[in-house]
Amino acid sequence: MLQVKNIDFSYHTSPVLQNISFQVNKGEHVSLIGASGCGKSTLLQLIYGLHHTDGRIYWNDIELLGPNFNLVPGEDFIKYLAQDFDLMPPLSVADNVGKYLSNMYPKKKKQRIQELLEVVEMHDLAGVKAKNLSGGQQQRVALARALAKQPELLLLDEPFSHIDHFRKNNLRRRVYKYLKEQNITCITATHDSTDALSFADKSIIMKNGKIHAQGKPKDIYTMPPNKYVASLFGDINEITINKLIEGEKSKKRVLLYPHEINAVENSEISVKVLQSFFTGKEFLIKADLKGTEILFEHKTDLKKTETVFVEIPKQLILSRLKKK
């Protein structure tokens, strides 16, 4: 189990991380999410041992000590995959992956490299020099190299950021499945809501260097505590309830995802279409609701200035308000 206790950190004078404490169980996958600059990478680097902190970090019973105590940062059982991939350009893909593997058993080493290249779908390019790879291919090789020595704890910083959409979904399903099968504990810092929602047992949400919320991804998504959290998962509407419920005087605000607002034939709520965006699966409609711009999903395109009726389940509004 990883235990992080009371971490504070600054690069210069202003605090970058403040009073961070959390724990991660063996084999658990955690997504670390938050706005750019909130301190996600710095936190991963601290756990890996690249910075000094007065707080405490333990992996099981071992205290992880920072650079003031370790000449070479990092422990053998932790791997950190940074945003820069740090590959050896003149070496082949296979040699980069096998760089830290022992040469004592060449057959075993070869098999291990092949297994890892299959996980990241790079086996066809095993002989290609790293300098001739695209950014996304380099990222996949770096991921395979991070896995090579079977870490107990894996820290991934935006691990799929350079990988095209076409390949990303399949790749991350393979990688996280492999990590679960091997019982590897993993923390992924990410901006991608799919990484955060689909592949994590727990999400930790950071804001301005602090832990802002944490919990199961589904719970956080369905009951976001505020707009900051909800907006990390995509577009979000914040609407006062007097605009949603006839006769309601309250100006309390409710958060609604675009897919939770349904266009219907007739209802108490009419909106005027402002703009329509094709999203592939359907259209995202921007509309005016009594002076508030809202976004909702619709199967077909809608014309600008068209009046449309929309409906939101009252139960949903009430449950979101209750949460606040």
Ligand X SMILES: Nc1ncnc2c1ncn2[C@@H]1O[C@H](COP(=O)(O)OP(=O)(O)OP(=O)(O)O)[C@@H](O)[C@H]1O
Does residue 36 touch ligand X according to CB under 6 A? yes
Alpha-carbon gap, residue 117 to 84, rounded angstroms: 19
Quickly tell me which residue has 């070869």 as its tokens. Answer: 110
Shortest reach from residue 40's CB to ligand X, in Å: 4
Does residue 37 touch ligand X according to CB under 6 A? yes
CB nearer ligand X, residue 17 or residue 261: 17
Among 2, 33, 38, 294, binds ligand X (CB under 6 A): 38
**Phi and psi of 319, rounded to 5°?**
-70, -35
Shortest reach from residue 203's CB to ligand X, in Å: 14
Q: For the purposes of burial, counting CB atoms within 10 Å of the CB of 198, is it exposed (0-12), middle (13-18) or buried (19 or more)?
A: middle
Q: Rounded to 5 degrees, what angle do the CA atoms 81, 205, 201 make?
A: 70
Shortest reach from residue 16's CB to ligand X, in Å: 4
Among 4, 29, 40, 48, binds ligand X (CB under 6 A): 40
Shortest reach from residue 9's CB to ligand X, in Å: 9
Alpha-carbon gap, residue 257 to 301, rounded angstroms: 19
Shortest reach from residue 148's CB to ligand X, in Å: 25
* 3-state DSSP helix/strand/coil % of the chain, to nearest 5: 30, 30, 40
Among 2, 4, 7, 16, binds ligand X (CB under 6 A): 16
- 3-12 burial string, b = 16+ CB within 10 Å, else e? ebeebebeee
Among 41, 96, 138, 139, binds ligand X (CB under 6 A): 41
C-alpha distances in Å from residue 159, one per residue of 66, 125, 254, 267: 24, 19, 34, 45
CB nearer ligand X, residue 34 or residue 66: 34
CB nearer ligand X, residue 113 or residue 213: 213
Report yes or no: 294 and 236 within 8 Å, Cβ to Cβ: no
- Restricting to residues 176-205, which ones interact with ligand X according to CB under 6 A? 189
Among 20, 24, 42, 320, binds ligand X (CB under 6 A): 42
Alpha-carbon gap, residue 84 to 89, rounded angstroms: 13
Shortest reach from residue 208's CB to ligand X, in Å: 9
CB nearer ligand X, residue 16 or residue 142: 16
Does residue 11 touch ligand X according to CB under 6 A? yes
Chain positions contacting ligand X, by CB under 6 A: 11, 16, 34, 36-42, 189
